[in-house]
């Protein structure tokens, strides 16, 4: 059996995760080595090779993986179903066993294997064409070394038409995405709990995309303090002040609303809303409105499908009568 053409071609760009290091208790970083062999226009010209390295944390690789899977209308997002990301080893991390040289080497090998799987995608490094992968190009800083004219330029941060805050580094999901994901992974009785959990996941993913592991760690520490505080009224104002000092107003409001939805305690939800100057009714109404819109959209699609089938059936009846 002959393998596909894209497996036989030698890619001009090669990536390897080849080193890992950790100093002074900071998060471990891994060297992503990039080697580009430029195409010769004439046979007699010497081969030009460019090399560069980037140091990435595990969380940055994870953010890259999230972006690859979340890219809408992308063929690579569909291909990512066949690729598993490097495991998190949460138990080792909990017991601080993720800082040993043997573990760093193990994770380096896992990240390298993951990147090699991504590099097998057809046309993934064709950055000069529209078929190339922009997420990968941004991740390795390819625009400084390669022709990336075929890729669509990044969008500037702002609010889109649907009211969802977006940025060039990632996409903030609205509550419709949370509800869809919750319905896929939970039973009907567990949907509320799943939505709370998914809201926390969305906040953490976006913070990792924007600020990396350090920013995420700071937020989780503040959130943990608020959740454990017995007096939510006293703890709410410092938490809201932290959000406004660290983030842009729109992003801080987005985090606050998501965080409110992630809380189980009604008292803590009300305290946060009061400190943030928002209404709990507004937060709940937004979720109800999004849910209603999703239901209407689903009903509309079902009606269109039923109408299409009835027309198709009618055509078959007419053809049968003619015959």
pLDDT tens for the chain, 323 residues: list them: 555 554 445 568 999 999 998 877 788 899 999 999 877 666 666 678 889 999 999 999 999 999 999 876 778 888 998 999 988 876 555 545 566 888 889 999 999 999 999 999 998 888 888 888 989 999 999 888 888 888 765 433 333 333 344 333 333 444 444 444 444 434 444 556 677 787 888 888 788 777 777 888 889 889 988 988 888 888 899 999 999 998 888 888 888 988 988 888 888 888 989 888 888 877 777 665 555 554 555 555 556 656 665 655 555 445 555 55
- Paired residues of 158 in beta bridges: 166
- Paired residues of 81 in beta bridges: none
List Cα–Cα distances, 248 to 74, 161, 203, 209, 269, in angstroms.
Answer: 29, 19, 15, 15, 22
Q: Record the tokens describing residue 234, joined without a space.
A: 């006293």
Cα end-to-end span (Å), the chain: 46
Give pTM, 2 decimals.
0.46
Query: What pLDDT is recorded for position 65?
Result: 93
Its sign, for the CA torsion 59, 61, 65, 68, is: positive
Q: Which single residue is written with the structure tokens 């109404």?
A: 285
Query: What pLDDT is recorded for position 109?
Result: 93
H/E element holding 57? Answer: strand 48-57
Query: What pLDDT is recorded for position 208?
Result: 79
Rounded to a whole number of angstroms, the CA Rg of the chain reads 24
Q: Which single residue is written with the structure tokens 């890259």?
A: 64
Spell out a b/e string for 80-95, using b for 16 or more CB atoms within 10 Å of the CB, else e: beebebbeeeeebeee
Using DSSP bridges, classify how beta strands 48-57 and 29-38 pair: parallel, antiparallel or unpaired. Answer: antiparallel
Spell out a b/e string for 200-232, using b for 16 or more CB atoms within 10 Å of the CB, else e: bebbebbbbbbbbbebbeebeebbeebbebeeb
Query: What pLDDT is recorded for position 111?
Result: 94
């Amino acid at each position: 059996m002959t393998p596909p053409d894209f497996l036989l071609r030698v890619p001009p760009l090669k990536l390897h995760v080849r080193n890992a290091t950790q100093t002074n208790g900071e998060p471990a970083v891994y060297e992503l080595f990039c080697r580009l062999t430029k195409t010769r226009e004439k046979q007699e010209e010497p081969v030009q090779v460019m090399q560069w390295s980037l140091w990435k944390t595990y969380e940055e690789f994870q953010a890259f993986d999230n972006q690859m899977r979340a890219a809408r209308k992308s063929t690579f997002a569909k291909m990512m179903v066949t690729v598993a990301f490097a495991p998190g080893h949460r138990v080792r991390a909990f017991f601080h066993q993720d800082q040993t040289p043997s573990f760093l080497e193990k994770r380096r090998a896992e990240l390298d294997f993951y990147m090699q799987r991504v590099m097998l995608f057809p046309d993934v490094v064709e950055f000069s064409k529209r078929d190339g992968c922009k997420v990968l190009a941004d991740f390795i800083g390819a625009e400084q070394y390669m022709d990336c004219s075929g890729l669509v330029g990044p969008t500037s941060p702002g609010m889109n038409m649907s009211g969802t805050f977006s940025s060039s580094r990632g996409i903030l999901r609205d509550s419709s995405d949370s509800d869809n994901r919750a319905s896929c992974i939970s039973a009907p009785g567990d949907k509320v709990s799943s939505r709370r959990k998914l809201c926390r996941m969305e906040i953490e993913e976006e913070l990792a995309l924007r600020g990396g592991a350090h920013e995420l760690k700071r937020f989780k520490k503040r959130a943990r303090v608020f959740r454990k505080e017995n007096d939510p009224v006293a703890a709410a104002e410092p938490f809201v002040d932290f959000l406004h000092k660290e983030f842009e107003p729109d992003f801080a409001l987005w985090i606050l609303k998501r965080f409110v939805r992630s809380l189980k305690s009604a008292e803590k939800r009300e305290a946060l809303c009061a400190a943030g100057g928002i209404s709990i009714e507004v937060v709940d109404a937004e979720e109800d409105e999004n849910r209603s819109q999703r239901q209407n959209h689903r009903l509309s699609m079902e009606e269109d499908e039923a109408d299409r089938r009835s027309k198709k059936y009618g055509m078959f009846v007419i053809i049968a009568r003619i015959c």
